[in-house]
Chains A and B, each alone.
Chain A
Amino acid sequence: MSRYFTDRLARNVVFICATVSFVILLAIAVFIFKEGLPAFKEIGFINFIFGMVWRPGQEQYGIFTMIVGSIAVTAGSLILAIPLGIACAILLADVAPFKLRRFLRPLVELLVGIPSVVYGLVGLVLLVPAVREIGGNGFSIATASIVLMAMVLPTIISISEDSIRAVPMSYKEGALAMGATHWQTIWRVLLPAARSGIGTSIVLGMGRAVGETMAMIMVIGNAIILPKTPLDPARTLTGNIAVEINYASGLHENALFATGIVLFIFIVILNSIAVILFKRGTHVQTVT
């Protein structure tokens, strides 16, 4: 009897926890939409999304430059982080001797624990002057991409490493038995077999890149212009909210919540991609 009681209790606890996370998500969504939708109505959806000028003092609200800024920084950081991250994952999963791995893995995980404001500070003090030597005033998409790269790397490394490790040993043994070199085995067998996991790691990294705020504000310059080169400053969607919400009221505040809606939709799309990739991965593995 008491076994059944524990069983039921456990079930209820788990159920409650799941309900709480669902309700929190729902509450956030409802709140953002409630506060943000009036702005869409007032400004007009097209004007808001494709407007080039953001000047709240003169009632001009267009976030197109910020959408471009967010995409540019995210793309820039991924271009830097993907080759580095996958190379590092290969090293940790298949190349490095056990001792080196035992030393490197916690180091990579430590990168996750560093608060983003610290990344921003390091970027502001070290990276901004360095980029200024190349051109522009140092606050730029390039600087922000490098800072973001460091923040996205741990996600890509650890998930990619796990998925490379999850490739059945028989694949590797088979390839080696066929006379493939170690590198050929990695490149032609392990990576293709692990590609869905690697894909998931990239999408999750992308999610982190889109959502990052504090470090971005400190190094990207927050200028509201359409960036033309990687050395130009820009503003991200998250940065727009964080920089201005303290003073905003009325329509300005609604417009910032509407920026949040756009971000919300961004993240939903990214997560859907992650789910689809993940599903396809299990499918492929059962078939082969």
Chain B
Amino acid sequence: MIKKSKWFALPLAALLVLVFVLAGCTTNATSTPTTTATATPASTATSSPTKTATAKATATGLSGNITEAGSTTVQPVAESIAAAFMAKYPEVKVVIQGGGSGVGVKSVAEGTVDIGAASRELTNDEKALGIVDHVIARDGIAIIAHSSQMVNGLTKSQVKDIFSGAITNWSQLGGANKTIHVVAREEGSGTRAAFEEMVMGKDTVITATAILQSSNGALKTTVAGDPDAIGFLSFGYLDSSVKALDIDGIAGTVANAKNGTYPIVRPLLFLTKGEPEGLVKEFINFCLGPEGQAIVAKDYISLN
């Protein structure tokens, strides 16, 4: 009887092993959109049938698939735009994935997605890969402090010195004699990358003693609760619980970011390999058009 039960269990165990190995493979494929499994049908679909689709766009509407992956800052707004696009053209399927700006650039360069998303400027190396960027929105990065903070404004170079650890006391900035508590985002965050690029420059790194929080929300809560803290935050998350400091005398508002006076503004980008065509072009034009920009304006800074 024992023997029988063993015979019964062995193939089952083998089956389970197989299932888990396969499961491992699929999770791998979805977590890093560099594998071709999900993207290939989409890219082939866009190249051939969409051209005909574009031709009859005015008459019957579009059809086909688009895949997008990349920045998690862009993700929510891309999802909203995709939903509106699919509502307008029911024959079109748009799949939006996260992954981070780095993944967005990499995937579009390798051709595994139709559109990559990034919340920072492309580097020259990345541009050399033949990636074309399309600015779909802008986002300001506010320098925030506790609502009771006496210091109201900083220069950009002061911000740099604070985050690099060269300035460590609020009294050096005209505030109280308190140690500055630097709060930053974790390595890999698009907001951090954009902040490093626009404020810190190439050779200066954020001090190792900085408190790191892994989301915009957690960072805001931290700064809101610490009278001596300073941090950086996407405009989309600003509210009255924290104080946005003036940079070079310019208040961190959407209006100032729009008219170009506020100095820390980053673009939110859609990336394509080469100039977009067919369905992808239609989708990007939709983002840039009035319908797309109305969605953008809910959270970020629209283009006009």
Residues of A with Cβ closer than 8 Å to B?
Answer: 4, 8, 11-12, 15-16, 19-20, 23-24, 26-27, 30-31, 54-57, 124-125, 128-129, 132, 137-139, 217-218, 221-225, 233, 235, 242-244, 246-249, 252-253
Contacts and interface: CB of A to CB of B under 8 A. Distances in A.
Contact of B5 (A12, A138, A222, A224): A12
Contacts of A26: 17
29 contacts: A8-B1, A8-B5, A12-B5, A23-B16, A27-B21, A27-B24, A56-B187, A56-B188, A57-B187, A125-B225, A129-B225, A132-B226, A137-B226, A222-B211, A222-B214, A223-B210, A223-B211, A224-B212, A242-B214, A246-B98, A246-B214, A247-B99, A247-B100, A247-B102, A247-B103, A247-B187, A247-B188, A249-B32, A249-B99
B37 interface: no
B16 A20 contact: yes
- Interface bin, chain B: 35 or more
A217 B214 contact: yes
Given A244-B186, A246-B72, A137 B228 contact: yes
Contact of A19 (B13, B181, B210): B13
A249 B9 contact: no
Contacts of B34: 249
A194 B67 CA distance: 61
Q: Which one of B4, B106, B210 has the greatest number of beta carbons of chain A within 10 Å? A: B210
A27 B20 contact: yes
B113 to A, nearest CB: 14
A132 B32 CA distance: 40
B213 interface: yes
Contacts of B12: 16, 19
A224 B24 CA distance: 31
Interface in B208-244: 208-214, 218, 221-222, 225-226, 228-229
Given A24-B20, A249-B106, A223 B212 contact: yes
B228 A16 contact: no
Contacts of B213: 222
B272 interface: no
A217 B100 CA distance: 20
A155 B107 CA distance: 46
Contacts of B179: 137
Given A8-B4, A124-B218, 4 more contacts: A56-B188, A218-B218, A247-B102, A252-B188
Given A11-B5, A137-B211, A55 B98 contact: no
A221 B211 contact: yes
A225 to B, nearest CB: 5
A255 to B, nearest CB: 11
Interface in B230-265: none
Contacts of B214: 217, 222, 242-243, 246
B129 to A, nearest CB: 16
A8 B3 CA distance: 11
